[in-house]
Amino acid sequence: MTGTILVGHDGRRGLIHHLAVATDRRRSGLGRRLVAAGLAALRAQGIDKCHLMVFANNAEGAAFWTGIGATRRSELDLYSLATAPR
């Protein structure tokens, strides 16, 4: 694999579910191009904002996203649910 992105939306907001670039291809602009293509596809469907999640301890990921202009949202909390009943 060289790189991949998974982007979707709920009709109102986009979400970048995954972005991965092979270690030896990082810093080549591939990640930026994948994000640009994903955002363009969302824009073509009338979606004007896109969210994404980064693990708090992922400094490299945080640096990438802020480096391309993403804004960290400190006022949001993330919750998770198991799909099986408890």
Q: Taking Cα atoms as reference points, which of 53, 47, 64, 54 lies closest to residue 8?
A: 47
Instruction: Report residue 24's pLDDT band, with 50, 70 and 90 as the boundaries.
Output: very high
Residue 83 inside a domain? The answer is no
Residue 35 inside a domain? The answer is yes
Q: Taking Cα atoms as reference points, which of 64, 55, 14 lies closest to residue 6?
A: 14
**pLDDT tens readout for residues 8-17:** 999 999 999 9
What pLDDT does residue 1 have?
73
> Residue 36's domain spans which residues?
3-67
Q: Find the CATH number of the domain harbouring 23.
A: 3.40.630.30
pTM over 0.75: yes
What pLDDT does residue 18 have?
97
Question: How many domains in the chain?
Answer: 1
* 5 SS3 class: strand
Residue 63 inside a domain? The answer is yes
**pLDDT tens readout for residues 29-65:** 999 999 999 999 999 999 999 999 999 999 999 999 9
Residue 49 inside a domain? The answer is yes
